[in-house]
Structure 1
Amino acid sequence: MDLLSFVAVPALAYLVMAAFVAIDAVVPAFPGEVAVISSGALAAAGHLNVAWAITAATLGALTGDLAVHGMSRRALPGALERFRLGRRLKAKIIRAHDHMGSTSAAAIIAARFIPLGRTTMSAAAGVAGMRRRRFGVIAFAAGLIWSSWAVGLGYVTGTVTDAPLWLQVAIGAAVGVLVGVWAGAAHTIIRTRRRMTDRARAAEAAAAGRDEPSPSRAPELVC
C-alpha cells in the first residue's frame, strides 16, 4: 500500500501519526516528526485536514511526554538507585534538568524543538519530581506549538514547491533539523550567559562584603 492509498482513510492516518509521535518520545529514532511534516504536505495536496493533523500530533506528543515523565518519576529513580552507574546517570539527569531549567514553561517549550530535547526534558522533569499536572499543562502547550510548526512547515513546503512528496518531506525535515540545532545552540548560549552573569554578580557581592570596613571600638579616654 502506498502513502496516498493509506491516507485515503484520513481517520486511520491521524491515528497512526499520533501513535508515531507518541512512540517517538520513548524511542527518539522513531520518525514521529517526519510523519507530522508529511501530514502537512499531504494537507497541502488536499488529502488531509490541517486542523485534524495538528490535533492528532498534539495528542500524540502529550501522550508520549506524559508516558516518559511518569516512568521517569515512578520507576526510573528507584531503578537507578540500585547500582552505581545508575546513580551517576540520575545525577546527570538532574543536572540536565537544572541546566535546561525545566521548571520554566519557556524552557520546556524550547526543548521541544531541540533534537532529543523532548525525551531528555520529560525524563529529567520526572526524575526531579516535577508535578504531573504542571508538566502536563506545559507539555500540552509545547506539543500544540510544535505540532502547528511541523504541520505548517510541511504545508508551506508542499504549497511552494512542485517537488514529489518525498522531496517535500525531506526539505521540511531538513529545515526542522536546522531550526532545532539553532534553537539548541541559542538556548545553550542564553543559559551560559545567565550563569556567567549570576557568578559575576555573586563575585561582586562577595568582594563588596570583604571591602566593607569592620566596626571598630571607640578609643577609651585615659584619665
Structure 2
Amino acid sequence: MDLLSLVTVPVAAYLLIAAFVAIDAMIPALPGEVLVVSAGALAAAGHLDVVWAVVAATAGAIGGDLAVYGLSRRALPGALSRTRFGRRVVAGIGRAHDRLGSTSAVAIIAARFVPLGRTAVAAAAGIAGLRPRRFAVFALTGCLLWAGWTVGLGYVTGSVTDAPLWLQVAIGTAIGVLVGVWAGAAHTVMRTRRRMSERARSAAVENAPDEPSPSRTPELVC
C-alpha cells in the first residue's frame, strides 16, 4: 500500500506518514523521508494539505525520537552494565556528552537532517542521561524544522516540474540526503576545530612561563 492510493482518504495518509516516520527513527531502513517528500509533492498537486503533512511528519518524528531516547535511557544502560565492554560504552558516551556541553542542542537538532544521525543521537542522549525535558525541547525543534524542510522539498519539486511523481520524489530525496550529509560534515568540522582551539589554548596556558614576582626595593633607613 502506498501513499498515492490513500490520498482519497487524507486522514489515513497523514496517519501513515506519522507511523512510518516514527518507526523510521527506530528502524532507519524504512523510507520515512521518502514518504514525507512524497507528501509534499502530493500537496503541490492538491491531493494533500501541506500544513497537515508537516504536522503528521513532525508528530511521527518526535514520537520516534522520544521512543528511542526512552528505551536508551531505561533499558540500554542496564543491559550494557552487565558486561565490561558495555560499561566502557556507557562511560564513553557520558564523556562525549560532557564534552558536547552547550552544543548538545545543536547536535540534537542537526542530527535530524543527517542520515542515521537521528537514531544515534537520540540513543546517546538517553544513555548519557540528558534530562527528558531538555531533550524533548531540542528534539521537537529539530523535528519541526526537518518536517518543514522535507515536505517543502517535495512541494517545491512538485510545483516547478511536470515530472512523474516518482521522479519528483527522487529529486527531492536526493537533495535532502545531500544537504543532510553536508550538515553532518559541517557540524563535525566545526566541533573538531573548536576542540583543537580549546586544546591549543590549554597548552598555551600550561606552557606559559611563570611571571616573576615583583621584587621589593629595600627601604633606606635614614
Partner in structure 2 of residue 28 of structure 1: 28
Shift of 1:99: 6.2
Partner in structure 1 of residue 63 of structure 2: 63
User: Aligned ranges for residues 7-22 of structure 1 at < 5 Å?
Assistant: 7-22=7-22
TM-score by length of 1: 0.90
Give per-residue Cα distances to partners, 1:86-127, cap 9 Å, x unaligned. Answer: 224334444554566586322211111111111111111111
Partner in structure 2 of residue 123 of structure 1: 123
Paired residue type of 2:212: P
User: Aligned ranges for residues 161-200 of structure 1 at < 5 Å?
Assistant: 161-200=161-200
Shift of 1:24: 0.8
Paired residue type of 1:203: A
Whole-angstrom CA distance in 2 between matches of 1:21 and 1:3: 13
Partner in structure 1 of residue 133 of structure 2: 133
Whole-angstrom CA distance in 2 between matches of 1:158 and 1:67: 32
The answer (yes or no) to whether the contact 1:154–1:168 under 8 Å persists in 2 is: yes
Shift of 1:6: 1.7
Paired residue type of 1:26: M
Whole-angstrom CA distance in 1 between matches of 2:75 and 2:214: 56
Whole-angstrom CA distance in 1 between matches of 2:94 and 2:30: 25
Report how many residues are paired: 218
Partner in structure 1 of residue 211 of structure 2: 212
The answer (yes or no) to whether the contact 1:96–1:124 under 8 Å persists in 2 is: no
Mapped pair 1:6 → 2:6 = yes
Shift of 1:134: 1.4
Q: Report sequence identity in percent.
A: 72
Partner in structure 2 of residue 158 of structure 1: 158
The answer (yes or no) to whether the contact 2:90–2:128 under 8 Å persists in 1 is: no
TM-score by length of 2: 0.90
Residue aligned with 2:115, SS: coil
Whole-angstrom CA distance in 2 between matches of 1:14 and 1:167: 22
Partner in structure 2 of residue 83 of structure 1: 83
Paired residue type of 1:82: R
The answer (yes or no) to whether the contact 2:3–2:35 under 8 Å persists in 1 is: no
Give per-residue Cα distances to partners, 1:150-196, cap 9 Å, x unaligned. Answer: 00001011111111101111111111110011001100110011001
Paired residue type of 1:51: V
Distance verdict in 2 for CA 1:102–1:34, change over 3 Å = farther
Distance verdict in 2 for CA 1:47–1:161, change over 3 Å = same
The answer (yes or no) to whether the contact 2:43–2:155 under 8 Å persists in 1 is: yes
The answer (yes or no) to whether the contact 1:22–1:62 under 8 Å persists in 2 is: yes
Whole-angstrom CA distance in 2 between matches of 1:175 and 1:67: 28
